[in-house]
Amino acid sequence: MTAHDSKSLIVIGGGAAGFFCAVNAARMGARVTLLEKTGKLLSKVRVSGGGRCNVTHQLFEVSEFSRRYPRGQNFLKKTLHHFDAAATIRWFEERGVDLKAEADGRMFPVTDSSETVIACLLREAARYGVEIRMNAEVKSLLHVESGFRLELADGRPLEADAVCVAAGGYPKAAQFAWLQALGHSIAEPLPSLFTFNLPKHPITELMGVSTTARVKIEGSKLSEEGPVLITHWGLSGPAVLRLSAWGARELAQGQYNFRVHVHWAPQHTEADLKAAITDARRQHPQKKVHNQNLAELPARLWQFLLRQSGIGEEQRFADLPAKAENALIRHISDSVFEVKGKTTFKEEFVTAGGIQLSEIDANTMMSRKVPGLYFAGEVMDVDGITGGFNFQHAWTSGWIAAKAIAGT
């Protein structure tokens, strides 16, 4: 195929999904222009994982991988067969970016720097002649006989045979109007990854303390176990963020006012804790309770729970009242918090909602409404929990769209 008769593609969005579609389509022979409405490329790639970029997750069973998506599971079961985590690892390794897995399965570049991933994608774009236009916001997109006609915010017109929309998640439904004008319907956008606010609760004085805990949302089946981080505004960490993803729509309906139950030492049952205190009474009756961290908790959290249970610093096991003992067991195994609102986890901001998946062909990423229109990434009604799953959806959908557009 010559440059003259190769297919022209405009990719809308300079994030992970848009870039991956652009560089792969160009490599496969398409003439590609990538439009980014801001002055920055690959912004989420740069900040994700604390600046390290959580590229994907070391989970290679498609059925298991797809279960990490609160919305889009069945869609991902189809798309991951085309391009899964193993394919992502190979793609980057073939271009000099080796990845490593951490104990929890998250995968990062061995350099521990997102700039390694960004540099790789920019090299690919330069190598295959992707034209990148910054500060190029699309105001209208029309499907015409010859393909597509776009108008940018500055009035410039553009035309292409195919368009891939990889514009990311929009926080407001009104921002999807230009896609609804083409006949697409939208699942209402809502925040998916957010932390739980506990205004004026004394536990916020422990900001910075992290431990493995089990968190349940009262009145639902939602429960997660994993690292929980206490912040100056409430509760965060992977377990809380996963809960926020699974409960995104349910919690929004209640305007983010709900109760959570936290078991600070999920490896210990209430009976275990009772037995540990009984043993301590018998074997170390003169020892101070404050000095015996029976639940193996971070020291500041242990001291806090003792204070909440009415146990003073001089309290010895020999004369520990039954009421205080029961209160301590309850506070360790079932601390209850009134959540009043949320705080968006800005680095990993993800939106639930977007283009309805029934309107997209999972095997090509092409619109079922408009031939030649493709989608990639978060603009679709797909979102994953933390751990590299949202980036994997970006790589997968971008690659499938590129292959379908280039016709390889």
Contact at 8 Å (CB) between 12 and 166? yes
State whether residue 7 is helix, strand or coil: coil
Question: Which pLDDT score, from 0 to 100, does residue 327 have?
Answer: 98
Residue 282: burial class (beta carbons within 10 Å; 0-12, 13-18, 19+): exposed
CA atoms within 13 A on the CB side of 285: 4
Question: Which pLDDT score, from 0 to 100, does residue 204 have?
Answer: 97
Question: Which pLDDT score, from 0 to 100, does residue 4 have?
Answer: 47
Angle at 164 between CA 163 and CA 165, to 5 degrees: 115
One-character DSSP codes across 335-348: EEEEEE-EEE-GGG
Angle at 9 between CA 5 and CA 14, to 5 degrees: 150
Element (H, E) at 22: helix 16-27
Question: Which pLDDT score, from 0 to 100, does residue 393 have?
Answer: 98
- Please report how the helices 389-406 and 85-94 are oriented relative to each other, as an axis angle in degrees rounded to 10: 70
Q: Any bridge partners for residue 340, and if so which?
A: 257
Looking at residue 357, the DSSP 8-state letter turns out to be: G
Residue ranges and CATH numbers for the domains of the chain are: 8-190+346-407 (3.50.50.60), 195-343 (no CATH)
By C-alpha distance, which of 9, 39, 41, 3 is closest to 22? Answer: 9
Element (H, E) at 56: strand 56-57
Could you tell me which residues come within 8 angstroms of residue 105 by beta carbon, excluding any fewer than 6 positions away? Answer: 57, 58, 59, 387
User: Residue written as tokens 């990993």?
Assistant: 348
Per-residue pLDDT of the chain in tens (408 residues, 90 and over written 9):
444 468 999 999 999 999 999 999 999 999 999 999 999 999 999 999 889 999 999 999 999 999 999 999 999 999 999 999 999 999 999 999 999 999 999 999 999 999 999 999 999 999 999 999 999 999 999 999 999 999 999 999 999 999 999 999 998 999 999 999 999 999 999 999 999 999 999 999 999 999 999 999 999 999 999 999 999 999 999 999 999 999 999 999 999 999 999 999 999 999 999 999 999 999 999 999 999 999 999 999 999 999 999 999 999 999 999 999 999 999 999 999 999 999 875 555 788 999 999 999 999 999 999 999 999 999 999 999 999 999 999 999 999 999 999 986
State whether residue 255 is helix, strand or coil: coil
pTM of the complete model: 0.91
Question: Which pLDDT score, from 0 to 100, does residue 345 have?
Answer: 58
Question: Which pLDDT score, from 0 to 100, does residue 336 have?
Answer: 98
Question: Which pLDDT score, from 0 to 100, does residue 3 have?
Answer: 46
- CA–CA distance, 365 with 346 (Å, rounded to integer): 28
Contact at 8 Å (CB) between 214 and 309? no
Question: Which pLDDT score, from 0 to 100, does residue 1 have?
Answer: 40
